[in-house]
Amino acid sequence: MRASQLLIPTLREVPADAEVVSHRLLVRAGFIRKAAAGVYNLLPLALRVVKKIEAIVREEMDRQGGQELVMPIIQPAELWQESGRWDVYGPELFRLQDRHGRDFCLGPTHEEIITDLVRNEVKSYRQLPLLLYQIQNKYRDERRPRFGLLRGREFIMKDLYSFDRDQAGLDISYQKMFFAYSRVFERCGLRFRPVEADSGAIGGKDTHEFIVFAEAGESTIVFCNHCDFAANVERAFSPPERFGVDEEPAPLREVATPGRRTVAEVTAFLGVDAKRLIKTLLFETEQGVVAALVRGDRDVNEIKLQKELGVLRCELADSATVEKVSGAGPGFAGPVGLAGVKIAADLEIMQMTNAVTGANKDDAHLVNVNPGRDFQPDLVADLRLVKAGDACPGCAHPLSATQGIEVGQIFKLGDKYSKVLGATYLDESGQARPVIMGCYGIGITRTMAAAVEQNHDENGIIWPFSIAPFHVVVVPVSDRDEKQMEMAQKTYASLLAAGIEVVLDDRPERPGVKFKDADLIGYPLRITVGKQAVRSGELEVKKRAGGETTFVPAEKIVSYVREIIEGALAG
């Protein structure tokens, strides 16, 4: 392609609403343009990247026996009501009605549709296993769409669904997808790690997220440098730490703590370690108010709490609710004598001796609080948020933490959907059994943005060869110099004839503009044709990654470029 004919509206200024690198660079480099909050136009360069990611995904899905299909974006409410998710999914579900008043939604995911398809078409064990997938736009009404393509209302996703006879078959399908996903992200040139995760609204038992390491990531993962443990903090577990268990229980007593509400204020005032505090946080749920207890130096993992309680809604209570339930303002609530609420305690709480808690009275705390003696929780479970420095559950070494972008997730659904929707098959003895399912998603547009987050510098994007929109740009220094233009066009034509993805920057722009745009867009290779090339017959080839420059005879340019590209794609 010739740059003069391409729609690449590059910008010099940074977009005002761009918070992360990928958003800034994809807008500035002419890849995307905003249509509405969380909704973007994909311009020609972006679409070329998307198509390459899709091609990699298709190859790896097909390699594992996947069959591609296309399901409707508009889904009837009846299926979602049948599965029980019409109300559970919440306000993120785009809902609409047709002219007859029938309810529909725009598909954020397709478990209901695919299960309905399979229950109508699959009757016998001989038709299983099945791996069915699609690549399609998805819709989620994010409360706060942000970060460009990383959190949008409309995005492109690959979703595959596995259907097996039993758990053993599901395990095989799951491992196939685990391997395929690793291959996909390796081929896309990403540094990533699979981590244990929470299943969220999708449901199911086992699940792994594929996390691309990036500062802009909204996912926090903890991992061990001494073993293979890695998990999203929503799911991560660390063995409970014992503190003060060798002490003899002392008499319970109340102490004045005027104006001391926070952990830091209370510990400083009383001269105690934060590990000695029992932090009491009140949460509102559809089943009533719940008090969650964690050690003073810990935070409540709201995902874990919600799962343990089995509730759909779990939100931190406001100050009015805290005062109504505890009789005191925020910072002074405690489990001793707390009536009318369910008390959920983290595992570490039950190993504490002579702890400090709020007294359910303003400006007062209790000391020498002993769980079991002074209060009895209704629920004891792992409720804390794991952080860097906590012990690895596998080898006890301290965990590390980092930010990352979730680009894919795989789930073992079991019979969660097939049972409720009646998707069964007849086994060898003619017995009806529920199909055992798994689901597996890759964010295509999110993968493109994640690649930019990992591969950039101060000048622009540095695309991996495998997903670059074009591999080479040929830049004549002066469009007014006939010899330079002739050499540039000849080079462009020879590369094009060899099947190499190349752009000729034939725009009547200053060389500085062309070079800046080449770096901003991120072409992996830049071939410069200037006066020296015309005199010597050697072309300057510069690698975008690392900036290495080589001078190559014009007659060898095709073989040289092809060798670089083939080597990069093979690696």
pLDDT digits (tens, 9 = 90+) for 111-136: 999 999 999 999 999 999 999 999 99
> DSSP string spanning 77-112?
HHHHHHHTHHHHSGGGS-EEE-TT--EEEE-S--HH
Here the tokens at position 284 are 């509102």
| Closest by Cα among 484, 571, 568 to 531 | 484
Quote the crossing angle between the two packed helices 167-187 and 44-63, to the nearest 10°: 140
- What was the pLDDT predicted at 205? 62
Here the tokens at position 376 are 């009895």
- CA distances from residue 298 to 293, 382, 492 in whole angstroms, order as listed: 10, 12, 61
- What was the pLDDT predicted at 202? 47
Q: Tell me the C-alpha distance between 462 and 407, whole Å.
A: 19
Q: Tell me the C-alpha distance between 362 and 92, whole Å.
A: 39
Res 201 pLDDT > 80 = no
| Closest by Cα among 227, 419, 189, 220 to 303 | 220
Here the tokens at position 398 are 């301290």
Domains and CATH numbers, the chain: 3-236+401-452 (3.30.930.10), 253-381 (3.90.960.10), 470-570 (3.40.50.800)
Q: Mean pLDDT in the chain?
A: 94
Res 537 pLDDT > 80 = yes
| Closest by Cα among 441, 417, 425, 410 to 115 | 417
Are the beta carbons of 173 and 132 closer than 8 angstroms?
Answer: no
Q: Tell me the C-alpha distance between 26 and 11, whole Å.
A: 10
- CA distances from residue 493 to 138, 156, 486, 557 in whole angstroms, order as listed: 40, 34, 10, 12
Angle ∠(302,20,442) on CA atoms, nearest 5:
65
| Closest by Cα among 8, 313, 312, 19 to 151 | 19
Over residues 401-415, the mean pLDDT reads 93
Helices (H), 327-396: none
Res 17 pLDDT > 90 = no
Res 218 pLDDT > 70 = yes
For residue 331, the one-letter residue type is G
Please enumerate in sequence order all residues whose Cβ is within 8 A of that of 253, keeping only pairs 6 or more positions apart, or say none: 366, 367, 368
Q: Tell me the C-alpha distance between 478 and 467, whole Å.
A: 30
| Closest by Cα among 150, 351, 338, 342 to 244 | 351
Are the beta carbons of 266 and 363 closer than 8 angstroms?
Answer: no
Among 199-208, 264-273, 277-286, 475-484, which is the least confidently predicted range? 199-208
Res 27 pLDDT > 60 = yes
- What was the pLDDT predicted at 200? 55
Res 399 pLDDT > 70 = yes
| Closest by Cα among 91, 140, 88, 85 to 115 | 85
Output 307 or 155, whichever has higher pLDDT. Answer: 155
Beta-bridge partners for 529 = 476
Cβ burial, residue 71 (10 Å; 0-12/13-18/19+)? middle
For 310, the 3-state DSSP assignment is coil
Q: Tell me the C-alpha distance between 540 and 526, whole Å.
A: 8
- What was the pLDDT predicted at 198? 64
- CA distances from residue 137 to 110, 281, 371 in whole angstroms, order as listed: 11, 40, 52
> 365-381 as b/e, with b when 16 or more CB fall inside 10 Å?
bbbbbbbeebbebeebe
The CA-to-CA distance between both ends of the chain, in Å, stands at 27
Here the tokens at position 94 are 């785009």
Over residues 321-334, the mean pLDDT reads 94
For residue 255, the one-letter residue type is V
> DSSP string spanning 105-138?
EE-S--HHHHHHHHHHH--BGGG--EEEEEEEEE
Number of residues that this document lists for the chain: 571
For residue 544, how many other CB atoms are within 10 A of its CB?
24
Output 243 or 551, whichever has higher pLDDT. Answer: 551
Q: Tell me 391's DSSP state.
A: B
- What was the pLDDT predicted at 104? 97
